Amino acid sequence: MTNATAMLTALGDPTRQAIFERLTDGPLAVGQLADVLPISRPAVSQHLKVLKEVGLVADRQEGTRRLYSVDPDGLAKLRAHLDGFWERSLAAFQQHANREAENDRNH
């Protein structure tokens, strides 16, 4: 599984999506996330572990708590993967449109 595939798989879970989206506003501790989500702190920690393992989330110690944030490098890798997918799709569409236009001119 490529890193981008692992990232997309991790984000396939609605709870992890919600956590990731909350982190796009800035760093948060597990407790802050648990306060706004309908899951326990241990569950938030497990989801953060998955997001961290695939490279979408980073953490740092601040005093007595650990803050989690979106990892810009991981997000850039995911973006590059999606951009590549989009570019290939557009190129395939362009080829199809060109063939159709050529067929129309020949008939």
Domains of the chain as residue ranges with CATH: 3-106 (1.10.10.10)
Phi, psi of 20 (to 5 degrees): -60, -45
- 14: tokens are 């609605």
Q: What is the pLDDT of residue 66?
A: 95
**Considering the entire predicted model, what is its pTM?**
0.80
Residue 90 has pLDDT above 80, yes or no: no
Residue bearing the bigger pLDDT, 66 or 107: 66
> Is the Cβ–Cβ distance between 30 and 48 less than 8 Å?
yes
Q: What is the pLDDT of residue 2?
A: 64
pLDDT digits (tens, 9 = 90+) for 34-75: 999 999 999 999 999 999 999 999 999 999 999 999 999 999
Task: Using DSSP, state whether 38 is helix, strand or coil.
Answer: coil
CA distance 98 to 100: 5
Task: Using DSSP, state whether 37 is helix, strand or coil.
Answer: coil
Q: What is the pLDDT of residue 1?
A: 60
Phi, psi of 38 (to 5 degrees): -85, 40
> Is the Cβ–Cβ distance between 59 and 67 less than 8 Å?
yes
Residue bearing the bigger pLDDT, 11 or 96: 11
Percent of the chain with pLDDT strictly greater than 70: 98
